[in-house]
Chains A and B, each alone.
Chain A
Amino acid sequence: MFYTADNAKIQINGEEILASNASISVSASLQPNYLITERSTNSYSPSNGVGGSLSFSYYLTGRDYFKTFITGQGEVPFSESQTISGNFAGLNFNSGYLNSYSVSFSPNAPAIATTSVSFFDDLEGEFNPTTGAAPSNTEVLNFKNASVVGTFAAGEVDNFIAGTYNYNADVKPVYLINETKPSSVSFGPKTVNINFEIDNPTGYLPVSGEAASISVDLYNEANARRENFMCSGLIQQRSLATAVSDYVKQSITIIQNSTEASSTHIAGVIDSSFGLGCVGVGTVGSEVGIATT
């Protein structure tokens, strides 16, 4: 019996995802048991727990649920919501973690995100085909309705042509003795990077990198802001490329290694007369306030 894509609904934490494609895989780690003097065997032993991954691309229609995992996953306070349960046409898992997330910014193109969720248990359930009509009132965001703002320590950029936003997290299961399903996971480094093609060819890149940030806002047709992708870190790579019949393309890559939900820093000090004041005890001036972002 064969089924079509129309019959394979995907749900994450109980919510249906408008995915354009999806794939799920599960694998067991087995190693062959060889005996001395033997070079073939039919005996195997598990060397690790069962696990797999669910990858899918989906249309951005508004506030993206998965982006909360970028800032929240693995951060204090821990909560149950950090675990992702997935259901792909009836095959389901309960201990998933966001592994990667990316969005490509292409001019005039529909906004599509691609994610990969790792899970560390076996798949439960059975393939259960569903039927149903597509929702008719969906608004898919488009990068025609986007604004890009960049802040650079040096130089100016007038045009942001296209780019990608990527999030990667290192998630490892922690197994206790007698466990095949991990009782906890270990969150390693999380990285956000943004790669953008811009219009000012330069090779300037100091050894310590260059502070920069790029923020991409996505709007709906009613011009209401529905999504934001922000990467604030250091430019760690510049590239310049061209080919016959093409123009010279300059790309930068900003890498951000801090992915907390918000950061607070002293953006400025304002005195009682709303002018920029001085910082620190003992400085001359009246009361000061601290603006945070």
Chain B
Amino acid sequence: MADLIFYDKAAVKVTVGNTNEVLLASDCSVSFSSSVQPLYTIGRKGSLGQFPSAARAGEISFSFLTSITGEHDKQPGNIINYLASGIKGSINSNASGALIQVAGLSGTGFLSSYSFNVASNSVSTSSASFTLFGSGEVANNQNLNVPISGRLANSDFSPSTGANPAAATNSVLATGIGHGRFTNLDGFRTELTGPTSNGTIFGADYSISFNHNPIYKVGQEFPSCTYYTTASESMNITEDVFNSGLSFSGVDVGDVMLNVKGLDSSKQMQVGLSGLKQINSSASVGLDDIVRTQKTLVAAY
């Protein structure tokens, strides 16, 4: 019987370049798939068999507490936020990927989506998803090239906070988690004039998705290289003001800095959103509740 790995031995470690962090993950899933399709011939019943039609690929996704006390290349916040900020701000197309390790499995993947939420009096949680294409780089051990390798085993990584793992005490971690108590989202509120009406923000959901383009060639299963192409960012704000003045070209919101703070309000994780536009307004109400409005802000990179 295979060893049973309990969740406390399945820490998620992400390495980007020379920096790494063990995340405060609450769940993680790993999938590895090969693409085969049945081939059929005319004049005969049934398939000739199932044959590969595309390269193998993997996906690793996980949810984690939005830790903000880490620091990577002088940028406060967790390593996923650091990675997402770096990619969307990049003017280089070459993507090198991040090494993800969990429960003895590992692979180099490209961040495909990242999201987190902030709500009043609530702990902020994040989630991230990586796509793993493998690499066509020649290595002595061919297994190094596959998208996901390894076998289930304990991963005894201690939670760390980026550049200074030794500082990862429980007290630091407890105050270093994003929380709605001290996070101020007034920069995103709807402000109406004549008469003046400023929205009260109840919560926000942030997400960004990245597109990567792996380049496959004849005679090799895994891509020669992978390019980062575009990213689309969105933020759904829940508040109490409905803006009916939505224009044909959307409402310019401009550049806004989102500061996610923990219970120690001196620490914060920053997300810079550039060229935001409001593209949606909605209002809804249910029993025993106030009328709440939502708006969607989007940006593209």
Contact = CB atoms under 8 A, between A and B. Distances in A.
A245 B51 CA distance: 30
B70 to A, nearest CB: 32
A138 B54 CA distance: 19
A134 interface: yes
B41 A18 contact: yes
B72 to A, nearest CB: 28
Interface string A118-155: 00000000000011111110101011111110000000
Interface in B23-52: 39-49, 51-52
B218 A134 contact: no
B203 to A, nearest CB: 32
Contact of B45 (A6, A16, A22, A146): A6
A134 B217 contact: no
A134 B46 CA distance: 5
A117 B51 CA distance: 28
A134 B43 CA distance: 8
Interface stretch (A157-165, A177-185, A259-267): A157-165
B45 A131 contact: yes
A169 interface: no
Interface string B43-67: 1111111011111000000000000
A145 B219 contact: yes
A106 to B, nearest CB: 7
A20 interface: yes
Interface of B: 39-49, 51-55, 93, 211, 213, 215-221, 224, 227, 229-230
Given A106-B218, A107-B219, A144-B220, 13 more contacts: A5-B43, A20-B39, A20-B42, A109-B54, A132-B44, A132-B45, A140-B51, A144-B221, A161-B218, A216-B218, A245-B230, A247-B93, A247-B213
A38 interface: no
A264 to B, nearest CB: 29
A10 interface: yes
A59 interface: yes
Contact of A21 (B42, B44, B46, B230): B42
Given A109-B53, A245-B213, A245-B229, A6 B39 contact: no
Of B43, B47, B52, B230, most buried by chain A (CB within 10 Å of CB) is B43
Contacts of B229: 245-246
Interface extent on A, as a size class?
A: 35 or more
B219 A144 contact: yes
A193 to B, nearest CB: 17
A25 to B, nearest CB: 16
Contacts of B218: 105-107, 143, 146, 148, 160-163, 216
A133 B48 contact: no
A106 B219 CA distance: 9
A146 B216 CA distance: 13
Contacts of A22: 42
A161 B39 contact: no
Nearest to B42: A5
A23 to B, nearest CB: 11
A19 B42 contact: yes
A110 interface: yes
A270 B110 CA distance: 54
A7 interface: yes
Interface string A1-45: 000011111100000101111100000000000000000000000
A272 interface: no
Contacts of A59: 39, 41, 48
Contacts of B54: 108-109
B288 to A, nearest CB: 47
A245 B49 CA distance: 35
A19 B47 CA distance: 12
Contacts of A110: 39, 51-53
Contacts of A5: 40, 42-43
Most buried by B among A107, A109, A244: A107
B52 to A, nearest CB: 6
